[in-house]
């Protein structure tokens, strides 16, 4: 089935370029384009695209407002294109909160110096979003999902020493939702792994710090684990745990060969399993792929508790699905109920 795409950007050159890249894939067709947000809202309704690519800064109606309007009237997977600046990162986070599903840098060379590879990555991201178009519309309907809550899992949480949360697509909004429920009296340190470019994680940490009652900061090499402080893995790097007697710190390092995700939940989870066995709660939220599954297996073998977000409340049911299908999940929670459970920590 052909993936129908609407391209939205105030630059005619960008619209033509994206159209050429996407139409070069035999499974995709750009069915229309728009030069501003207002036109995008109209064409989203009339053309019924499977995926929309959206610029942020446009005349008449900006991209963030357009995302809100489209998601209110006809939920559609939206891929934002953003500038690699602090202002661009903030705008992108606003767009994700408004309902956009994913984002990429507007300059494709920032994805990869290999232009052909950058084009393939763009087409793959559009294809991945198209696979979730129907489920996104179902997700926006009000419903109460069935939640599995095995009582045995709660007993493991009485004296855990670390909380670690991992996510990818849809993660910024999901992490914000659960983290804002943690009280300022939280007695455990927290690690966060979100698939995100390096120029975005600083702004994301700042936003969380402003919204949460606990402190949130982008992790720096050597930061010590402290109760009530959440350390966010910096984009483009790996976050590991290091133990020096009773003192535990984080190691921020360059990614090695074969480490596709930067940061990677598998890398962080595996490091925790090695350096802090047992008494750990790992939460896997919405995201494409299966990053976190291999690390969760190691955590589980060392006595950790694993929670997974349920399918109904995920933007993309990939990472949690891998956990559930591998029988690693102690609890499977709707996002709202998971946030509620974390109030008690």
- 82 counts as catalytic: no
Chain position carrying tokens 């095995």: 150
Mark 257-295 as b/e (b = at least 16 C-beta within 10 Å): eeeebbbbbbbbbbbbbeebeebbbbbbbbbbbbbbbbb
Secondary structure of 247-268 in the HEC alphabet?
A: EEEEEEECCCCCCCCCCCHHHH
Please identify which residue in the block is written with the tokens 């402290």.
Answer: 226
- Residue 60 and residue 16 in contact, taking contact as beta carbons nearer than 8 Å: no
- Is-catalytic flag, 132? no
Report the C-alpha gap between 164 and 158 in whole angstroms: 16
Is the torsion defined by CA of 18, 20, 25, 27 positive or negative? positive
Task: Give the DSSP letter of residue 110.
Answer: G
Cβ-contact 289, 168 below 8 angstroms: yes
Annotated catalytic residue, options 94, 195, 266, 330: 195
Question: Cβ(271)–Cβ(241) under 8 Å?
Answer: yes
* 194 CB-contact burial (10 Å; exposed 0-12 / middle 13-18 / buried 19+): buried
Closest CA to 101 of 54, 38, 57, 42: 54
Catalytically annotated residue among 33, 82, 168, 271: 168
Euclidean distance between CA atoms 298 and 273, whole angstroms = 6
Count of beta carbons in the 10 Å neighbourhood of residue 41: 22
Distance, in Å, from the CA atom of 315 to the CA atom of 317, rounded to the nearest integer, reads 7
From the list 25, 102, 291, 330, the catalytic residue is: 291
User: What CA–CA distance (Å, rounded) separates 314 from 148?
Assistant: 15
**In the block, which residue shows the tokens 């350390």?**
231
The catalytic residues are 168, 195, 291
């Amino acid at each position: 089935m052909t993936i129908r795409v609407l391209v939205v950007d105030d630059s005619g050159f960008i619209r033509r370029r994206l159209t050429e890249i996407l139409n070069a894939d035999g499974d995709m067709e750009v069915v229309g384009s728009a030069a501003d947000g207002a036109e995008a809202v109209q064409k989203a309704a009339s053309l019924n695209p499977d995926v929309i690519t959206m610029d942020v800064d446009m005349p008449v109606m900006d991209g963030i407002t357009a995302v809100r309007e489209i998601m209110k009237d006809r939920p559609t997977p939206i891929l934002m294109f953003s500038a690699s600046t602090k202002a661009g990162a903030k705008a992108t986070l606003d767009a994700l909160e408004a309902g956009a599903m994913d984002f990429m840098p507007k300059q494709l060379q920032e994805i990869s110096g290999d232009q052909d590879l950058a084009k393939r990555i763009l087409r793959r991201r559009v294809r991945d979003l198209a696979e979730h178009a129907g489920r996104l519309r179902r997700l926006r309907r009000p419903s109460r999902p069935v939640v599995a809550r095995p009582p045995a899992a709660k007993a493991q949480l009485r004296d855990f020493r670390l909380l670690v949360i991992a996510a990818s697509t849809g993660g910024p909004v999901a992490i914000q939702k659960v983290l804002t429920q943690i009280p300022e009296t939280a007695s455990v340190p927290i690690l966060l792994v979100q698939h995100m470019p390096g120029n975005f994680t600083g702004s994301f940490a700042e936003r969380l710090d402003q919204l949460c009652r606990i402190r949130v900061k982008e992790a720096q090499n050597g930061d010590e684990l402290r109760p009530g402080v959440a350390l966010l893995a910096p984009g483009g790097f790996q976050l590991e745990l290091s133990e020096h007697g009773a003192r535990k710190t984080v190691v921020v390092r360059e990614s090695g060969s074969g480490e596709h995700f930067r940061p990677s939940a598998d890398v962080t989870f595996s490091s925790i399993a090695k350096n802090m066995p047992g008494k750990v709660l790992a939460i896997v939220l919405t995201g494409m792929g299966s990053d976190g599954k291999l690390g969760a297996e190691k955590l589980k073998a060392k006595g950790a508790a694993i929670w997974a977000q349920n399918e109904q409340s995920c933007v993309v049911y990939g990472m949690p699905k891998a956990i559930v299908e591998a029988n690693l999940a102690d609890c499977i929670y709707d996002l709202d109920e998971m946030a509620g459970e974390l109030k008690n920590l």
